[in-house]
A and B are shown apart, each in its own frame.
Chain A
Amino acid sequence: MGKPSRRQFLKLIGATGAALVVGRGSASATEEHQVNNDTLGMLYDATKCVGCKACMSACKRVNSDYGSLSYEQAPFDSDGLWDAPEDLSGSTRTLIKLFKESDKEWSYVKYSCMHCQKPSCVSVCPVSAMTRDKMTGIVDYNKNTCIGCRYCQVACAFNIPKFQWEKAIPQIVKCDLCKNTNMVKKGITACAETCPVGAIMFGKRKDLLDEAKKRLRENPGRYVDHIYGEKELGGTNHLYLSAMPFKKLGLPVLKHEAPAEFSEKIQHTIYKGFIAPVALYSTLCFIAVKNMKKGCADDGEEQGKSGSERKKAEKEHGEDVE
């Protein structure tokens, strides 16, 4: 039975070759995660925001064509005079909400993509439609690659990516820091550019952090002493300051480790260099071929077996002679 083992050997070589290619890809991905503070982001100061929603309308005006956004009608507004999204959606990338605890205690909050340093959505996208730009830190989405599996939605702890459920040709919708629109023309996001009270600051993460720390230092008592996004899930480029606890504003309490670190560690341990699957395959081949040989030998020796099996045994022995 020289033939099967040679074939097995060739297969092994082929598989190992494939493994090397895949292995190289995964090795580069295992690089230790480091926070890059030179990347771009935004600092939203909820205590400055007056809730005028100019950022929302600017976002939709600038990105509606590129991002396939549309105006959302409220049920009372039969003439369609206002854009009135209830939540982030397949038509809305950013949203201002009001949280009201009492008549004196309330706060606005702005939702949009957090642009994580180690984004879960990028880690899970099977076809690299979600990407994080190394230089700018922008988490961008490419609809021309996306298969619409919505794994990014499952993965995102902030529930940011939205899907266009009502469209026959849907896509994922999320903030890309105006990467392909306002940023190209003016070098700033549309929301930060428009904000009349300076509640949205656009810049490098390190400058934003310095500014946030300065505000916390200079205005004791005005803020909750915490910069949301500095450490959450390994750090985000969208940072928040607020007078109210962040949890009440719909920003979840999160660990400091990025979930993608853990899931990738497990995936890489199993598939490191593709060694385990190749080893499994060759071991199983070895056992199966041995079993078959043994089976044939038994068939030949034993009497009283069914004709079919004897025929099979003869056939296999014939191969041996070859």
Chain B
Amino acid sequence: MSHDEFQTYRAKILTPSFVVLLVLTLIGFALIAVRFIKGIGAVSNMNDGYPWGIWITYDVATGTAIACGGYAMAILIYIRNRMHYHPMIRSAILTSMFGYGLAGFSVMVDVGRPWNAYNFFIPSKWQANSAMFEVAVCVMAYTTVLLLEFLPTVLTALEKTQWKTLQLLLDMLYSRMGMERPERIGDRLDKVKDLAAWLKPRLDKVLIFIIVLGITLPTMHQSSLGSLLLIASTKLHPLWYTGFLPLLFLINCMFIGYSIAILESVISCYAFKRPFETRELSGIARIIPWLTVIWLSVVIGDLAWRGQLGAAVSFDFYSRFFLLEFCLVAGGSLLMFSGKKRESIRWLFVSAALIVLGGALYRFNVYLIGFNPGKGWHYFPALAELLITVGIVAFEILGYQVIVKILPVLPKLHTRQQLDAGHVTADKA
């Protein structure tokens, strides 16, 4: 767990995409303000038949799966002992941190009485029967774990910083006010640096236990996200309602996690004009099809066992969505089985995108599309409702963009090439 494998991406922060994302974020947050002033009904099409809309389905159920990159990479690196993937961990953890943090934030927008959320910390109110309780506690704990996992990055940066921007700002401020800058400010800044230097090795020692906690918690709450719908036996379509929901959600988040790690790496290398990490990515891509094969077999086996295979190919509304989800995942996996295609960045990107789409559609199917509360109920998200979700996602990307430019998150280029070379010799041996 060396801190020298990473580097800050030195580039301008104020780019055109920054402005676009900022505008989307601001629109989203303005609408969130409307929601708190005028009630959920003012911005959303949710109703008593469909009490969970796009916020829960996308931001929470799907968003946390997409944020499982950190989880999937941690399993690969620390449990399966593939240390040469370590340079990829920080950007994976950063996106996970944003994904989970904002999923938690979305929940606070979505719930009607957020001021009562403190009841999660009052033992007499705990309700162990509720999958929601398990999800809420685990997600809160995992977000904390992610923050701790990311802390070394911040500490490294603090340790090495010269406070250039801050110095400049202070100088400007004091010269404006026509005053001498007092010495003690410098002393205090040095103290912060010392503290960071003191804390970092101590954190490093216990970090592995925090990381393992960061593997245990998602295993728990990702399966519980599936358990959430176990109660809706009369509402969820039989194509998706099964006792295997927790297992399917768990495997689903793993293959989404690895696929999203590939997508993230390709997109950020493309956007930041860095060389592609083809070797690492094709290595990761080798794992994905095995996970999807297990997942698809459970899906098919379970449908056969419950006698629903006919419904799956009946080509009605539900069957079409089921088949689409199934084909996306299966198609992406087939591409990834081919060793040759795994060597090509383009095919890696396409197949990973197909799998993420299919996996995400599965979650949409369970939470929204396959959910039928009875006659007379309809739901399609309102524009304002969608814009809030868009705003939150935009904020996520914005944060990632800014943080990789001020903190050492992305893999250091020369380290990577060296590791590649080391990898080749290891393969030969």
- A: residues with CB less than 8 A from B are 3-4, 7-8, 11, 21-22, 25-26, 29, 88-89, 120, 123-129, 143-151, 153-155, 157, 159, 161-171, 252, 254-255, 259-260, 262-264, 266-268, 270-271, 277, 280-281, 284-285, 287-289, 291-292, 294-295, 304-309, 311-312, 319
Q: Which one of A148, A165, A312 contacts B1 once the chains associate, using CB atoms below 8 Å?
A: A312
Residue of A148, A162, A166 most packed against chain B (CB within 10 A):
A148
Q: Which residue on chain A has the smallest CB distance to residue B226?
A: A266
Q: When chains A and B are docked, how far (Å) is the Cα of A166 from the Cα of B34?
A: 12
Complex Cα–Cα for A263 and B119 (A): 23
Min CB gap B419→A, angstroms: 8
B231 near A260: Cβ-Cβ < 8 Å: yes
- CB <8 Å contact, A284 and B41: no
25 contacts between A and B (CB under 8 A): A124-B131, A127-B125, A129-B116, A146-B112, A149-B111, A149-B132, A150-B111, A154-B232, A157-B234, A157-B235, A161-B48, A165-B40, A165-B44, A170-B113, A171-B112, A263-B230, A284-B79, A285-B212, A287-B78, A287-B79, A288-B208, A288-B211, A292-B1, A306-B415, A307-B4
Stretch at the interface among B95-103, B216-224, B318-326, B349-357: B216-224
Assess whether A127 is in contact with B418, with CB atoms less than 8 Å apart: no
A150: B residues at CB distance < 8 A: 51-52, 111-112
- What DSSP secondary structure best describes chain B's contact surface? helix
Query: Are A123 and B130 in contact (CB-based, < 8 A)?
Result: yes
How close is A22's CB to chain B, nearest CB, in angstroms? 6
A162 to B, closest residue via Cβ: B48
Chain A residues with CB under 8 Å of B246's CB are 266, 270
Q: How far is the CB of B156 from chain A (nearest CB, A)?
A: 12
Assembled-state Cα–Cα distance A277/B142 (Å)? 14
Contact flag A271-B52 (CB < 8 Å), given A159-B373, A259-B232, A266-B230: no
Given contacts A126-B132, A288-B79, contact A259 B234 (CB under 8 A): yes
One of A3, A21, A127, A263 near B231 (C-beta < 8 A): A263
Main secondary structure of the interface of A (DSSP, over half): helix
Asked if B243 and A262 make an inter-chain contact with CB atoms under 8 angstroms apart, the answer reads yes
Per the bound structure, the CA–CA distance linking A171 and B231 in Å amounts to: 22
Please report the C-alpha to C-alpha distance between residue A303 and residue B246 in the assembled complex, in whole angstroms: 46
Contact present for B79 and A147 (CB under 8 Å) = no
CB distance from A112 to the nearest CB of B (A): 14
In the docked arrangement, what's the CA distance between A130 and B44, Å?
25
* Interfacial chain A residues near B234, Cβ < 8 Å: 157, 252, 254, 259
Decide: B128 and A25 in contact? CB cutoff 8 A: yes
Of chain A, the residue at the smallest CB distance from B79 is: A287
- Return the chain B residue nearest A145 by Cβ: B119
Let me know if B381 is at the binding interface, CB within 8 A: no
Q: Number of contact residues on B: which range applies?
A: 35 or more
Contact A127 B128 (CB under 8 A): no
**Neighbouring B residues of A311 by C-beta, 8 Å:** 2, 4
Given contacts A26-B128, A124-B132, A259-B232, contact A168 B36 (CB under 8 A): yes
Contact of B113 with A143 in the complex, beta carbons under 8 Å: yes
Give me 5 other A-B pairs in contact (C-beta within 8 A), A155-B232, A166-B39, A252-B234 excluded: A124-B231, A145-B119, A159-B49, A166-B38, A170-B39
Chain A residues, CB < 8 A from B212: 281, 284-285, 288
User: In the complex, A4 Cα to B211 Cα: how many Å?
Assistant: 14
Residue of A126, A128, A147, A306 near B113 (CB, 8 A) is A147
**Neighbouring B residues of A319 by C-beta, 8 Å:** 205
Q: CA separation between A280 and B48, bound complex, in Å?
A: 39
Q: Indicate if the CB atoms of A262 and B230 lie closer than 8 Å.
A: yes
Q: How far is the CA of A143 from the CA of B119 in the complex (A)?
A: 12
Known A123-B129, A124-B132; judge A252-B374 contact (CB<8 A): yes
Is A127's CB under 8 angstroms from B51's CB?
no
In the complex with contacts A126-B133, A159-B373, A288-B78, A147-B116 CB distance below 8 A: yes
Instruction: Please indicate the chain B residues that have their CB under 8 angstroms from the CB of A165 in the complex.
Output: 39-41, 44, 46-48
Interchain CA distance A312-B208 in the complex, whole Å: 14
Known: A126-B120, A170-B39. A154 touches B52 (CB 8 A): yes
Pick the most buried of B51, B205, B228: most chain A CB atoms within 10 A of its CB: B51
Residues in A whose Cβ lies below 8 Å from that of B117: 147
Which A residues are CB-close (under 8 A) to B419?
306
What is the minimal beta-carbon distance from A23 to any residue of chain B, in angstroms? 9
Chain B positions within 8 Å of A89 at CB level: 48
